[in-house]
Amino acid sequence: MDISNRTVLIVGGTSGIGRELARRFAAAGSTVAVGGRDAQALADLAEEGFGAFAVDVTDASSVASARDAVLARYPDLDTVVTMSGVMLLEDLRDPAHFQAARTTIDTNLLGTILVIDAFTPHLVGRGAGTFVTVTSGIAFLPFPPMPTYAASKAAVHAYSEALRAQLDGTGVGVVELVPPAVAMPGEEQVNPRALPLDDFATEVMDLLSADPTPGEILVKGVLMHRWAERDGTYGDLVAQRSQALSMLPGRQG
């Protein structure tokens, strides 16, 4: 894809990976809007020159209103990124985890579906465009402290594949971004294995720029997760990652 002339909406663009990719698309020459709930972050991004739209992806009427406002201002919108997501720890030995499970599915899976549904008629109607969905290395190699998160991202992977097949022939493509652990600026020490945001974003924009854009955006750091099952490393890696269960509050002491 030519990243220099797109009109992009990043839902979940108010912080982290989404905000950085918004800045990268804009720096490359594209017109960029972001969506999210955080009013201060939206105001700051509007100040930076981005279109900024309040949206809660767990609320269908909020998504519909945001869609109407975005398309009124950007009738040439051609790229929609479904970045919104929550990453919650859950202790499955405590049934109280269910609220976290519900929030995770409502945001990561149903939120993705709502946003895609909201913009599908527009993109199909113009006969060209791209949905960029966002999963995780954890979709392919579970991280046991975040069980519903892993399930939600595996679901978005499967959904993306079906969406791509269903939109085939409409001119609308589906690209799945699969981040590994990414470290935000100043947080590099928290998980030394995480990829610094800046390096991650550079690799992602390079991969997106390929023509044709691959169906999955896989930076080098996520290949071990993506292909663990094929490579026969899955069992060992899940066991290794299960050691992180000790980080759950109920398992300490």
For 140, the token pair is: 């392919």
105 touches ligand NAP by CB under 6 A: no
Specify the residue, 76 or 198, whose C-beta has the smaller distance to ligand NAP.
198
167 touches ligand NAP by CB under 6 A: no
Nearest distance, CB of residue 176 and ligand NAP, angstroms:
11
182 touches ligand NAP by CB under 6 A: yes
Residues 6+ apart with CB under 8 A from 59: none
In single-letter form, the type of residue at position 65 comes to: S
84 touches ligand NAP by CB under 6 A: yes
Q: Please return the burial class of 253, using the count of CB atoms within 10 Å of its CB with bins 0-12, 13-18 and 19+.
A: exposed
85 touches ligand NAP by CB under 6 A: yes
Specify the residue, 3 or 222, whose C-beta has the smaller distance to ligand NAP.
222
Strands (E), 163-239: 172-177, 182-183, 195-196, 216-217
Nearest distance, CB of residue 169 and ligand NAP, angstroms:
28
18 touches ligand NAP by CB under 6 A: yes
Specify the residue, 15 or 170, whose C-beta has the smaller distance to ligand NAP.
15
**Of the residues 83, 114, 141, 175, which one makes contact with ligand NAP according to CB under 6 A:** 83
Strands (E), the chain: 7-11, 31-36, 51-54, 79-82, 129-134, 172-177, 182-183, 195-196, 216-217
Which residue sits closest to ligand NAP, CB atoms considered?
16
Nearest distance, CB of residue 109 and ligand NAP, angstroms:
11
The Cα–Cα gap between 110 and 103 comes to: 10
Q: Which of residues 48-67 bind ligand NAP (CB under 6 A)?
A: 55-58
For 203, the token pair is: 């690799």
Picking from 1, 61, 9, 4, the residue whose alpha carbon sits closest to that of residue 32 is 9
Specify the residue, 41 or 207, whose C-beta has the smaller distance to ligand NAP.
41
87 touches ligand NAP by CB under 6 A: yes
By CB under 6 A, the count of residues binding ligand NAP is 26
For 9, the token pair is: 């909406």
Taking CB under 6 A as the binding criterion, the range among 12-20, 125-133, 211-219, 237-245 that sits at the site for ligand NAP is: 12-20
Picking from 222, 231, 230, the residue whose alpha carbon sits closest to that of residue 143 is 222
Q: Please list, residue by residue across 71-108, b when 16 or more beta carbons sit within 10 angstroms of its beta carbon and e when fewer do.
A: beebeebbbbbbbbbbebbbbeeeeebeebbeebbbbb
Residue ranges that bind ligand NAP, judged by CB under 6 A: 12-18, 36-38, 41, 55-58, 83-87, 107, 134, 136, 179, 181-182
